[in-house]
Amino acid sequence: MKLRSLAIAGALALCAAQSQAEDLTVGVTTTGVPFTFVDTATQQPTGAMVDLAAAIAEDLQMTPDFAVSQFSALIPALQTGKIDVISAGMFATDKRKEVVDFSTPVYSYGDVAFVKADDAGSYQLEDFAGEVVGAQIGTTFADQLQAKGIFSEVKLYDSLVDIMRDVQLGRIKAGFGDKPIIAYQIAQNPNLGVKLVEGYTPMGTGEVALAVSKENPELLEKVNASIAEMEKSGELAEIFGKYGL
């Protein structure tokens, strides 16, 4: 009876510990294919950065709770404590580092330009001088385009889908965005009516990382330790390779 009582007590303690497992609230956006998007079959967030956040949460013995919002709302949500971490296709820029802390970089890439599918032109950035171009609000690309000061207008959009629509309709000459995201969307949806500009030289390259609040250095340390372990084991490469990255 004593052994049985001890076994029951151990099981109850395990259940209690599991029930008290801490949530890790992760901010994601649904417009960042293949980094973060919604699986149409399950209607759940998915993508490389979603899988990465889930793997980190598991390593930290936490339960991932994904909070979907617009890209431009991610940092404000982190600053106000609505989420614990951002795991999206977000560059760790100097400007963003002023308000949030970033993890070890997990991926790097540059921007790309896209035009109407029937546009036979060969363009570099300066070739769009005097034109109306578009970028997603809150992105480094939008800031870089505006800083150039050579365009008739830099229109800001909430989503890449909206930019592609206006390019396809001829409302703007070109759109700019994350190369792997744009390339993936065009490859998956050939009827979008837009194409990548071949030979385009990016304005620069950036490093993608997870972001945490400056008030939570403990979490940052744990996230970095988890990333280091996944790099060593090859799991990090597997996660990104699954989405063609």
Percent of the chain with pLDDT over 90: 76
* Residues 168 and 197 placed together within one structural domain of the fold: yes
* Residues 6 and 98 placed together within one structural domain of the fold: yes
Instruction: Quote the pLDDT of residue 188.
Output: 84
* Residues 100 and 113 placed together within one structural domain of the fold: no
CATH label of the domain that carries residue 170: 3.40.190.10
Residue pLDDT, tens place only, 34-47: 999 888 899 899 99
* Residues 23 and 93 placed together within one structural domain of the fold: yes
- Indicate the pairing of strand 36-39 with strand 44-46: antiparallel
**CA dist., res. 158 & res. 185, Å (int):** 16
* Residues 76 and 144 placed together within one structural domain of the fold: no
Residue pLDDT, tens place only, 204-242: 899 999 999 999 999 999 999 999 999 999 999 999 989
Reported pTM: 0.71
* Residues 10 and 83 placed together within one structural domain of the fold: yes
Structure tokens at 69: 């919002």
pLDDT over threshold 80, residue 2: no
Element spanning 228, H or E: helix 217-233
pLDDT over threshold 90, residue 5: no
pLDDT over threshold 70, residue 16: no
* Residues 98 and 145 placed together within one structural domain of the fold: no
Instruction: Quote the pLDDT of residue 38.
Output: 87
Domain that holds residue 173: 109-205
Instruction: Quote the pLDDT of residue 7.
Output: 41
* Residues 55 and 70 placed together within one structural domain of the fold: yes
* Residues 55 and 174 placed together within one structural domain of the fold: no
Kindly state the average pLDDT of the residues 86-108: 95
Instruction: Quote the pLDDT of residue 21.
Output: 61
Residue pLDDT, tens place only, 98-155: 999 999 999 999 999 999 999 999 999 999 999 999 999 988 899 999 999 999 999 9
Ramachandran quadrant class, 221 (left: phi over 0; alpha: psi -120 to 50; beta: rest): alpha
* Residues 40 and 22 placed together within one structural domain of the fold: yes
- Residue 123, Cβ neighbours under 10 Å: how many? 17
Instruction: Quote the pLDDT of residue 17.
Output: 41
Domain count, the chain: 2
**CA dist., res. 220 & res. 73, Å (int):** 20
* Residues 77 and 135 placed together within one structural domain of the fold: no
* Residues 84 and 124 placed together within one structural domain of the fold: no
